[in-house]
Amino acid sequence: MKALNVLFAATALTLTAGLAQADVRPDHIQGLLNSGEITSFEKLNQAALDKHPGATIQDTELDHKLGKLVYEVELTDAKGVQWDVELDAKTGAVLQDKQDT
């Protein structure tokens, strides 16, 4: 019986972790843009680039994180340093700006 409880708890934790952070499906993006739930990717990319002038974007992702849409941008600056910038996908506000280690 204890093994069953442990298995159930592990499954529940795995499922809730998946709900806390999940990529937004590409077919949902246009609806989010049209409804105003997210701002344009051009504006979001520019907000990330403004944090690191001269950098280039390596990758982007739109995720659900704890009930919020977050746009993640991976950048490489002119010195070759990699950065991870997270933005509020609706407002473009920088939520996190950290060097990728």
pLDDT tens column, 69-85: 999 999 999 999 999 99
Pick the closest to residue 23 from 49, 59, 54, 47 (CA basis): 59
Domain ranges of the chain: 2-99
CATH number for the domain formed by residue range(s) 2-99: 3.10.450.40
Query: How do residues 6-50 score in pLDDT, each as one tens digit?
Result: 334 334 333 333 334 578 999 999 999 999 999 999 999 999 999
> Residue 100 half-sphere exposure, CB side, CA atoms within 13 Å?
15
pTM attached to this predicted model:
0.76
Other beta carbons within 10 angstroms of residue 87's beta carbon come to 26
- Residue 61 to residue 71: CA distance in whole angstroms: 6
DSSP class of residue 25 equals: P
